[in-house]
Amino acid sequence: MYQVVVAGAESPNVGPVGGVPSKQKKLGREGRHLMGAGVLGLLLVIAAVAAWCYYTASLRKADQLKTELLDLRRDGFTIRNQTGAVVFRMAFRSGALDLDSCTNTRVMLNCERSNVGPLNFFIQVVRPRDTVMCYRVRWEELVAGQPVEHAMSYNGSHWYGGAESASQHWPILLAGQQEPEPFVTSDINSNRQQFGGILERYWLSSNAVAIKINDSVPFHLGWDDIAQTMRFQARYQDTLYKPLPGQEPLAELSYRVCVGSDVTSIHKYMVRRYFNKPNKVPCEDVFRHPIWSTWALHKTSVDQEKVLTYAANIQKYNFNWSHLELDDRYTSKYGEFEFDPVKFPNATAMFQKLKASGFRVSLWTHPFVNYDSANFGVGVKRGFFVREPTGKLPALVSWWNGIGGILDFTNPETRDWYASQLRALKSKYDVASFKFDAGETSYLPWKFSSLVPLHDPSTFTRRYTEMAIPFNDRAELRVGYQSQNISCFFRLIDRDSVWGYELGLKSLIPTVLTISILGYQFILPDMIGGSVHPNHTYSNGQLPDRELYIRWLELSAFMPAMQFSIPPWEYDDKVVQIAQKFTALHETLVAPRVLELAGEVVDTGDPIIRPLWWIATHDATAYKIDSQFLIGNDLMVAPVLEPGKQERDIYLPAGRWQSYKGEYFDKGPMYLTDYPVDLDEIAYFVWTQ
């Protein structure tokens, strides 16, 4: 229940009235003039006086509905920062408040009616610090079937956060008009218009405002690039969200808006206050040396010989490795946990050979059990799968490798069974860890039931990520929802082997920055050169374009971890040399910094990979830079991301910077235009005293 707050000290008849003199004078003059004109005039005077009283009363009301730096109107509210600039605007789209039903105690605004009917509405003001002001907003409908929608203006500032997406931009770029859709995790490699596998209900603006939507909200996100609004909607109709058992489908939209003095400090405040944090740093080896995956190179035709040859070549070309990743597919059927005896005639021997050469191996895994696998019957009999809505029958789902059941990770027995299968593989072959693939809600049936009912389907994603905890030293996940405290590597969804913003090379920095802002810091940028999917590869032959591959490799060397699949020796000696140069640079220059920052993540949750504005909080240019980033506060990286270019423009925020070539720059902020960067180079700058 909500606190019912009686109107404060001001009685309805007193209280400040301001800004009315002109109207008052006019009425007064009219009144004097009409006074001598008899009864009609008297009536007019009475009407005028009544109008004046009403007018002043509503002004008083409007004044009452200011609370700290927030102004409430019937159709929305605005928030100012401490110097009085309007930094946040929200419009009510599903109804307008009846301001006469509102009361105000300065820390709590409370209204009980809208033009659509009764409701509970409140805004509570909290000032947790001198420089931070927070507003808890809640609009609760009392009529079932009534959605709630508030529209946040995004004009006038830059926004960050929300979700991984297929076309990723930094800051967020919203195009067209989108009706509110469930804000739940999806595989954006297959469904490119959806929200991605890593998402949080959190946005941050360059005006030093942050908004966090409450977990309990059946939350839908839409937008409108004409009105320049993001539409935040709560509803239970035509959606994946369900009221909890025994509760009525009454939509409630609640969120916190916090305003600070600059974008970095408000973000730090929000992270410390509202985000989970990892409790340990994953395996240091993975930060130092590349992972080598079989996927982009061999796809599902991988076999024992190919794995051994791949490992032998890694050694032959003098590369280091953290581990070798045996990807899809090594089992006979999807849903089994044993090696396919045809493709892997002696898996034990393979693991022994790899171990003797110093290779640890991780295995690919996923939440599906296909109908043709031996475990399908086991799952049906023991109730391991997500079911159709009545809960009687397992639901069949279609995924990129066929049709089957999807394991219900809300069921402790399912979790135990799955974990025991993974442990068995681990002990039988001395497997190092697992690559946990999928986990998005887009692989659940549109209507389903799970053992523990899910109000928010993305909770399924969270339950799946928890499966990785026992294997977390080297485990990698590609999904996350409130999963920042799963101390694993989080991988970007499979990239296409293209240059652009749609899952291509240019999307890497925006995506890494976005998920960093969402609190995921142990980031794997996925495979160098992309996954080489048919029709999504820029190339003249089988391999990604050579120049694209080299630029991708250079950028990856400055990410928290590197992951190869297409090996450099598939090109030529020059590419091998460049790859050796950059894996060595990663090890000596990048990994030590990243590891130091990774240690801090456990305490602070702050990004390892940071946007330029992190150190240039009032620099309007820094808000828009999407092709440069910082590692910590003092190493700034500016890769070449354009085909055919051996130079680029580089923005240096204020400070004294030393380039990788040794030049000093201290007249900043400044642009270095057409700064030369050869094909085997990446530009980076160190902040110096």
As a whole number of angstroms, the distance between CA 527 and CA 375 comes to 31
Token pair of 551, please? 């630029």
Tell me the window of 10-18, 294-302, 344-352, 364-372 that interacts with ligand NAG (CB under 6 A).
Answer: 344-352
First to last CA, the chain: 56
Per CB under 6 A, does 178 bind ligand NAG? no
Give, as ranges, the residues between 596 and 625 that touch ligand NAG (CB under 6 A): none
Which of 24, 177, 346, 420 is in the footprint of ligand NAG by CB under 6 A?
346
Q: Minimum Å distance from CB 51 to ligand NAG?
A: 29
Toward ligand NAG, which CB reaches closer, 186 or 207?
Answer: 207
Token pair of 661, please? 């070539």
Interstrand relation of 132-141 and 229-234 (parallel, antiparallel or unpaired): unpaired
Which of 56, 320, 401, 421 is in the footprint of ligand NAG by CB under 6 A?
320
Toward ligand NAG, which CB reaches closer, 24 or 398?
Answer: 398
Residue 540's Cβ-count burial label (10 Å; 0-12, 13-18, 19+) is exposed
- The residue type at 656: R
Which of 60, 138, 220, 415 is in the footprint of ligand NAG by CB under 6 A?
138
As a whole number of angstroms, the distance between CA 481 and CA 463 comes to 9
As a whole number of angstroms, the distance between CA 20 and CA 533 comes to 68
Which of 56, 178, 190, 214 is in the footprint of ligand NAG by CB under 6 A?
214
Q: Minimum Å distance from CB 535 to ligand NAG?
A: 4
Residue 238 CB contacts under 8 Å (≥ 6 apart), including other chains: none
Give, as ranges, the residues between 521 and 550 that touch ligand NAG (CB under 6 A): 534-535
Give, as ranges, the residues between 88 and 117 that touch ligand NAG (CB under 6 A): 89
As a whole number of angstroms, the distance between CA 444 and CA 345 comes to 35
Identify whether the C-beta of residue 597 lies closer than 8 Å to the C-beta of residue 605: no
As a whole number of angstroms, the distance between CA 316 and CA 503 comes to 32
What is the CA 439 to chain-centroid distance, rounded? 15
Give, as ranges, the residues between 70 and 89 that touch ligand NAG (CB under 6 A): 81-83, 85, 87, 89
Per CB under 6 A, does 474 bind ligand NAG? no
Q: Mark residues 411-450: x for contact with ligand NAG by CB under 6 A, - for none.
A: ----------------------------------------
Q: Cis link prior to 329 (omega < 30° from 0)?
A: yes
Which of 168, 185, 186, 254 is in the footprint of ligand NAG by CB under 6 A?
254
What's the DSSP call for residue 492? Answer: P
Tell me the window of 21-29, 63-71, 196-204, 206-214 that interacts with ligand NAG (CB under 6 A).
Answer: 206-214
As a whole number of angstroms, the distance between CA 497 and CA 516 comes to 23
Residue 274 CB contacts under 8 Å (≥ 6 apart), including other chains: 202, 212, 256
Identify whether the C-beta of residue 164 lies closer than 8 Å to the C-beta of residue 524: no
Toward ligand NAG, which CB reaches closer, 76 or 367?
Answer: 76
As a whole number of angstroms, the distance between CA 629 and CA 170 comes to 11
Q: Minimum Å distance from CB 478 to ligand NAG?
A: 18
Helices (H), 199-294: 263-274, 284-288
Which of 56, 190, 261, 401 is in the footprint of ligand NAG by CB under 6 A?
261
Q: Minimum Å distance from CB 359 to ligand NAG?
A: 14
Q: Minimum Å distance from CB 663 to ligand NAG?
A: 26
Tell me the window of 33-41, 313-321, 355-363, 426-434 that interacts with ligand NAG (CB under 6 A).
Answer: 313-321
Toward ligand NAG, which CB reaches closer, 56 or 261?
Answer: 261
Token pair of 544, please? 């990604």
As a whole number of angstroms, the distance between CA 404 and CA 394 comes to 9
Tell me the window of 63-71, 149-157, 592-600, 648-656 that interacts with ligand NAG (CB under 6 A).
Answer: 149-157
Which of 64, 583, 628, 659 is in the footprint of ligand NAG by CB under 6 A?
583
Which of 580, 593, 668, 679 is in the footprint of ligand NAG by CB under 6 A?
580
Q: Cis link prior to 568 (omega < 30° from 0)?
A: no
Q: Minimum Å distance from CB 27 to ligand NAG?
A: 31
Q: Could you give the angle at which helices 573-585 and 546-556 cross, rounded to 10 degrees?
A: 10
Toward ligand NAG, which CB reaches closer, 303 or 642?
Answer: 303
Per CB under 6 A, does 207 bind ligand NAG? yes
Task: Quickly tell me which residue has 């002004």 as its tokens.
Answer: 59
As a whole number of angstroms, the distance between CA 202 and CA 560 comes to 23
Dihedral of CA atoms 669, 670, 676, 679 in degrees, nearest 10, equals 40
Tell me the window of 25-33, 153-161, 184-192, 196-204 that interacts with ligand NAG (CB under 6 A).
Answer: 153-161
Per CB under 6 A, does 276 bind ligand NAG? yes
Per CB under 6 A, does 584 bind ligand NAG? yes
* DSSP characters over 535-549: TSB--SSSSPPHHHH
As a whole number of angstroms, the distance between CA 355 and CA 350 comes to 9
Toward ligand NAG, which CB reaches closer, 274 or 665?
Answer: 274
Tell me the window of 170-178, 348-356, 390-398, 644-652 that interacts with ligand NAG (CB under 6 A).
Answer: 348-356
Toward ligand NAG, which CB reaches closer, 324 or 395?
Answer: 324
- List residues binding ligand NAG (CB under 6 A): 81-83, 85, 87, 89, 136, 138, 153, 155-156, 207-208, 214-216, 254, 261, 276, 279, 318-320, 346, 348-349, 352, 469, 482, 485, 534-535, 580, 583-584, 587
